[in-house]
């Protein structure tokens, strides 16, 4: 069974713990912890032994990656083991930027392995930031400023920087101010090449400096529908092409392109759900080949493609489909990937 190579993504959750408690982050954390460096090494070895390699490696999932005390050590290990891109071609992560100190910034920039870094901000002013994220707005802006300063002084194009804004009730009136705020911040460094975008599925969604608006995911389907409407309204105010793209029918592409491994080694077929009963098994006891070609994975793919009668309870109730998604016209390509 194949993966969609272009969109293939490997998620390894270094930790599901976090220093913040953002209001929209409805994460279930029945257990909390840090991945050990031994488990991380074992996972990387298992991937190298498998027939799969990925386009993108994301060393985070449900927590704050920079909270891991061995973040640098783990990334250095990855760098050493990823010879000839045998694990992944690109590397990126999202962060709340609270721990983005000088040392981490220099490491990220000098290591040359990071393709993209996403700063999750979600606000244009201190009040809204406190309300949504509860952290220190000025501190993260200053950390980001220092990161840009070091990036320029080292003359590095990578990582591309994404300033992310998840659109929700609490910040819906600040979209324009956010664009203004980021523009002003970049102008402090004489940077004028800012891209403003609203979703991952536009082919050119990312530039060296990009503002990305995303919709908030709600666990409840009714709430999700409300948030989709809010997002559509707000995006239509800013982007002329928003309605054309958002009306195209899509299907979820998780099991065709994603492998997510939690901090304990449990493997999942997408980046939304981490309920234990959705796990395909633990990477310690199974090979990646067996997990990806498992009957469970085939059933999931068939369900999403509308083949057969078997349903999947988790997918059925999922409000995901934010990323990864495929337009209906890609169904033929996805069917091809399911052949063993």
Residues that bind ligand SF4 (CB under 6 A): 18, 20-22, 25, 27, 63-64, 96, 120, 133
Decide: is 62 part of the binding site for ligand SAM (CB under 6 A): yes
Burial of 275 (0-12, 13-18, 19+ CB in 10 A): exposed
Please state the closest distance from residue 285 (CB atom) to ligand SF4, in A. 28
Ramachandran bin of 281, using left for φ above 0, alpha for ψ from -120 to 50, beta for the remaining angles: left
Find the binder of ligand SAM among 52, 60, 129, 278 (CB under 6 A): 60
Helix or strand holding residue 162 (H, E): strand 160-167
| Residue 196 contacts ligand SAM per CB under 6 A | no
Contact predicate 60/13, CB 8 Å: yes
The CB-of-22 to ligand SAM minimum distance in angstroms stands at: 6
> Which helix H or strand E contains 210, and what residues bound it?
strand 209-215
Q: How far is CA 272 from CA 68, 140, 321, in A?
A: 21, 26, 9
d(CA 260, CA 212): 23
Q: Does 16 bind ligand SAM (CB under 6 A)?
A: no
Residue 60 binds which entry of ligand SAM, ligand SF4, none, with Cβ cut-offs from 5 to 8 Å by kind? Answer: ligand SAM
Beta-ladder partners of 212? 164, 197
According to CB under 6 A, which residues from 251 to 310 bind ligand SAM? none
Q: Which is nearer to ligand SF4, 63 or 269 (CB)?
A: 63
The reply on whether position 24 binds ligand SAM by CB under 6 A is yes
Stretch that binds ligand SAM, among 19-27, 144-152, 246-254, 292-300 (CB under 6 A): 19-27
Among 90-98, 180-188, 237-245, 252-260, the segment contacting ligand SAM (CB under 6 A): 90-98
Report, in Å, the least distance between residue 124 CB and ligand SF4: 17
| Of 23, 27, 11, 321, the residue nearest 166 (C-alpha) | 23
Residue 302, classed as helix, strand or coil, is helix
Among ligand SF4, ligand SAM, none, residue 166 binds (CB under 5-8 Å by kind)? ligand SAM
Per DSSP, the three-state class of 219 is: coil
Residue 121 in contact with ligand SAM, rule: CB under 6 A:
no
Burial class (CB in 10 A: 0-12, 13-18, 19+), 40: buried
In the complex, what is the shortest distance from the CB of residue 331 to ligand SAM, in angstroms, rounded to a whole number? 26
Which residues would be at the binding site for ligand SAM (CB under 6 A)? 18, 24-26, 60, 62, 64, 94-96, 118, 120, 164, 166, 216-217
């Amino acid at each position: 069974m194949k993966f969609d190579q272009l969109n293939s993504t490997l998620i390894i959750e270094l930790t599901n713990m976090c220093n913040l408690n953002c209001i929209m982050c409805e994460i279930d954390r029945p257990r909390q912890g840090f991945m050990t460096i031994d488990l991380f090494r074992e996972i990387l070895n298992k991937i190298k032994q498998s027939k799969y390699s990925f386009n993108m490696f994301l060393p985070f999932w449900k927590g704050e990656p920079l909270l891991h005390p061995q973040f640098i050590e783990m990334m250095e290990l990855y760098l050493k083991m990823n010879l000839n891109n045998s694990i992944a071609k690109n590397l990126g992560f999202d962060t709340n930027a609270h721990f983005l100190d000088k040392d981490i910034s220099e490491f990220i920039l000098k290591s040359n392995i990071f393709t993209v870094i996403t700063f999750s901000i979600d606000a244009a002013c201190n009040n809204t930031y406190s309300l949504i994220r509860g952290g220190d707005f000025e501190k993260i802006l200053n950390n980001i400023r220092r990161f840009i300063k070091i990036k320029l002084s080292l003359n590095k194009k990578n990582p591309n920087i994404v300033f992310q804004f998840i659109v929700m009730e609490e910040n819906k009136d600040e979209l324009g101010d956010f664009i203004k705020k980021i523009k002003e911040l970049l102008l402090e460094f004489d940077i004028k090449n800012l891209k403003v975008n609203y979703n991952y599925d536009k082919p050119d969604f990312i530039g060296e400096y990009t503002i990305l608006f995303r919709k908030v995911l709600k666990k409840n389907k009714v709430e999700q529908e409300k948030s989709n409407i809010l997002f559509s309204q707000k995006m239509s105010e800013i982007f002329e092409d928003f309605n054309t793209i958002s009306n195209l029918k899509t299907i979820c592409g998780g099991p065709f392109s994603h492998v997510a491994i939690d901090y304990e080694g449990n493997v999942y077929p997408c980046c939304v759900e981490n309920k234990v009963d959705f796990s395909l098994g633990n990477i310690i006891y199974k090979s990646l080949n067996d997990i990806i070609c498992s009957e469970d994975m085939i059933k999931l793919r068939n369900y999403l493609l509308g083949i057969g009668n078997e349903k999947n309870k988790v997918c059925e109730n999922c409000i995901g489909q934010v990323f990864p998604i495929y337009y209906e016209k890609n169904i033929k390509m996805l069917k091809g990937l399911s052949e063993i």
